Amino acid sequence: MEFDWIGCHFDLKKITPPEIEEAFEDPFSIRLLPETDSSGAEARYFALGKTINNRFLFSLFWTDGKNYRVIFAREMVEEEVSFYERKNAEWV
């Protein structure tokens, strides 16, 4: 998996590229395709993952299957952390 960090719309100093990559490599990460009304738009996905230092990250990204472009990233809000933990508990 290759990441493209050109044109990010968030501060890469608050959430670093290695942290985002760790969240994507989290074996329990959750990736979702949100419902969209635009049939001609590129598909954008959500990712919920945790870093090695237990930082919960939410990312919005695009992929062609090999390359990933993270459009936006932030720390998860409480409801997203709860969803992440609940879904992971279901798989155990």
- Is the CB of residue 83 less than 8 Å from the CB of residue 48? yes
Residue 85 has pLDDT above 90, yes or no: yes
Residue 36 has pLDDT above 90, yes or no: no
Task: Supply the pLDDT for residue 35.
Answer: 65
Which residue segment(s) compose the domain that 70 sits in? 2-34+43-91
Whole-number Å distance between alpha carbons of 92 and 88: 7
Give alpha helix (H) positions in 1-92.
Answer: 17-25, 78-91
| Arithmetic mean of pLDDT, 70-79 | 94
- Is the CB of residue 64 less than 8 Å from the CB of residue 3? no
- Is the CB of residue 45 less than 8 Å from the CB of residue 63? yes
Task: Supply the pLDDT for residue 82.
Answer: 96
pLDDT top residue among 36 and 71: 71
pTM of the predicted model, to two decimals? 0.86
pLDDT band of 10, cuts 50, 70, 90: confident
Structural domain total, the chain: 1
